[in-house]
Amino acid sequence: MEALYLYIAKSAGLVILFYCAYYFLLRKETFFTTNRWFLLTGLITSAVLPLVSYTKVIWINASPISNLNPQEIPFQPIKNEIHEINWIYVISLIYGVGFLILLIKFALDFYSLQSILKGKKIHQQADFKFIDTNENIAPFSYFEYIVYNSSMYTDTELQNIIEHEKVHSDQNHTIDVLLSRAFCLLFWFNPIIWIYKKAIVQNLEFIADKEAAKKLSDKKSYQYTLLKITTHESCVAITNHFYQSLIKKRIVMLNKNQSKKRNSWKYYVVIPALVAFVLVFQVETIAKEKQQIVQSGNGEIKSLDVYKIKKTSTDADLKEIKEKLKSIHNVDFQASEIKRNAQNQLISIKIDIKNGKQTAQSIQTSGNEAIKDFGILVTTDENGIKKIGIQTTSEQTNSSSKTTKQPKVAISNELKNKTETNADTHSSTSTKTNNNISTNISTFVTTNTNSNASTKVVTTNNGSNVTVYSSTNKTPLGSQLIIIDGEEMPAGFDIEDIDNGKVKSVSVYNGTNALAKYGDKGANGVIEIETRK
């Protein structure tokens, strides 16, 4: 919705630019036909140019791998605003009402025109269709139709009128009228568009007056006809009608000397302004991280690409990630079950990614609160083999509340018997106790190339438990890399020696995430434990 409003604002600004150029530089010139194309170009440019954008990429150094630790990603809770007015909806409603009223008015004008043309006797002459009506209306043309009431004019006056309307019909001036009317429908809130439409119609009359006067022997008689037609007040809105206001200006322009050709430089004044518009508003700067290089323990080089999905990610952002994963890594990406709150932040999303037989899935849902930021990771080893993974974060809580009983963390049994380390999954959980802890739930499912191995990790931040489920047990506890308070434990360290009551949080890294953070040392998985100080 915001993109639509931005487009409307840019388009309205371009209309103002072209009208100012016409009003201050061109309206007194006799280049009527060139003015016609200038004004039409202004309308088309204002509709098309805001849709054209150029992307400028700035490459920045990637953050260190350690910074990808999901526990370090800041999370700001959303404050629920009560009785907050959604101005986007209000503005949309006002715009919609105005558009609907003008659309109905246009439909009525079109119906009125059809009622005049329908059932009337048509006299065909060359490419023109003449209708002599009995109605008391001003003469007008509509495409090939020319309508008039012959009983109201002398033969000379009627000849002047018909020559005038033939110019309108022959040069398809009706298209200009309808196009300007359509822009008034779309941008009715912009007062300049209505003045712009008036300038278009008036310039068409200048063209018709000039061309008709060339074919008539008595130029003065034509001007008297103009004055006589001003007594008619009934006109059809969406046509080129002989009667127009500002007859004095039409007569002045009809008798004005031809403008000098050197004044044509005025048409090029808008070009620098359009270039400035593109440079300021239509160049989108995107910062991209350079491909990360990870040095593994045995000297192999692995590259890591991270595609971040944030709570503020739009559908366009998700589409861009999908296209990049497919074009760069041939990885299939699908986002579904997308929901957003009133602040247009993601509150629910399901991500499915696939690379050959490797698949990974991430589901986040958090009621009306924003989801946690997470990322899609793609690693490439020196042999060109790619692995996919999903990195996420669990909510960080503040353990300021005092408790008399520490919750048990089932480290030994759960991690010993129910952890699959070949799957590309990362679960980070916290066992802090706090009565105000949110129940944001994140569920991840990944399956590697081994069809018999699958892992499901459910993380619930309710301050009481951490559960890890697995359908297989390929890697025994003890082969994983153990990190306690940032210090690497020696091989063979027995995790059961840790007092559960002293454990503050546990993070489990498997597959791609473990390799990305610890290199080949994390090939069998990594368990990070933070103890209470």
Question: In this structure, what token pair is assigned to residue 438?
Answer: 């949110």
pLDDT at 389: 79
Which CA distances in Å does 263 have to 24, 259, 266, 269, 337?
13, 7, 6, 11, 61
In the sheet with 426-430, reading across from the earlier edge strand, the strands are 426-430, 503-509, 526-531, 481-484, 487-488
Residues in the chain, total = 533
> Taking 70 as the threshold, does the pLDDT of residue 86 lie above it?
yes
Structural domain boundaries of the chain?
1-62+267-290, 101-259, 291-531
pLDDT value at position 327? 85
Contacts (Cβ under 8 Å, ≥6 apart) of 402: none
Looking at per-residue pLDDT, the higher value among 494 and 276 belongs to 276
* Cα separation, 143 vs 240, whole angstroms: 9
Q: Is the pLDDT of residue 388 over 70?
A: yes
Q: What is the pLDDT of residues 404-456, one digit of tens each?
A: 333 333 333 333 333 333 333 333 333 333 333 333 333 333 333 333 333 33
Alpha-carbon gap, residue 349 to 341, rounded angstroms: 12
Question: Which pLDDT score is estimated for 289?
Answer: 63
pLDDT at 495 > cutoff 80: no
Closest CA to 66 of 508, 519, 533, 423: 519
Give ∠ CA 189-192-196 in degrees, rounded to 5.
125
Q: Which residues of 81-110 are buried (b: 16+ CB within 10 A; e: fewer)?
A: eeeeeeeeeeeeeebeeeeeeeeeebeeee
The answer to whether the beta carbons of residues 185 and 8 sit under 8 Å apart is: no
| pLDDT at site 520 | 73
pLDDT category of residue 296 using cuts at 50, 70 and 90:
very low
What sign has the CA pseudo-torsion 260, 262, 264, 270?
A: negative
Confidence of residue 3 (pLDDT cuts 50, 70, 90): confident
- Going by C-alpha positions, the residue among 488, 472, 483, 474 that lies closest to residue 505 is 483
Q: How far is CA 412 from CA 114, 456, 516, 530, in A?
A: 85, 18, 25, 15
How far apart CA 90 and CA 93 sit, in angstroms, is 5
Distant-in-sequence, close-in-space partners of 450: CB < 8 Å, separation ≥ 6 = 422
Tokens linked to 401 = 């509340």
Over 80: is that where the pLDDT of 40 sits?
A: yes
Position 327, amino acid: S
pLDDT of residue 454: 33
Residue 378's DSSP bridge partners are 305, 388
Residues 317-371: pLDDT tens digits? 899 899 888 888 888 999 988 988 888 888 888 888 888 778 877 777 777 788 8
Contact 147, 137 (CB under 8 A): yes
DSSP of 234-285, one letter per residue? ---TTSEES--S-HHHHHHHHHSPPPPGGGGGGGGGHHHHHHHHHHHHSEEE
Mean pLDDT, the chain, whole residue set: 76
**pLDDT at residue 489, rounded to an integer:** 86
The C-alpha torsion from 517 through 521 and 524 to 528, rounded to 10°, is -60
The pLDDT-based confidence of 200 (bands split at 50, 70, 90) is: very high
At residue 379, the 3 state secondary structure works out as strand
Contact 389, 434 (CB under 8 A): no
For residues 527 and 481, is the Cβ–Cβ distance under 8 A? yes
C-alpha span between 463 and 65 (Å, rounded): 29
Give Cα separations from 430 to 358, 392, 460, 461, 494 (angstroms): 28, 13, 9, 7, 21
Give yes or no for residue 464 having a pLDDT over 60.
Answer: no
Taking the C-alpha atoms of residue 373 and residue 313, their distance in angstroms, rounded to an integer, is 9
User: What percentage of the chain exceeds 90 in pLDDT?
Assistant: 34
Q: Are 189 and 95 in contact (CB under 8 A)?
A: yes
What pLDDT is recorded for position 515?
A: 73
Q: What is the per-residue DSSP string for 120-140?
A: --EEEETTEEEEE--S----E
pLDDT tier for residue 285 given thresholds of 50, 70 and 90 = confident
Flag whether pLDDT at 396 surpasses 50: no
Q: Which pLDDT band holds residue 470 (cuts at 50, 70, 90)? A: very low
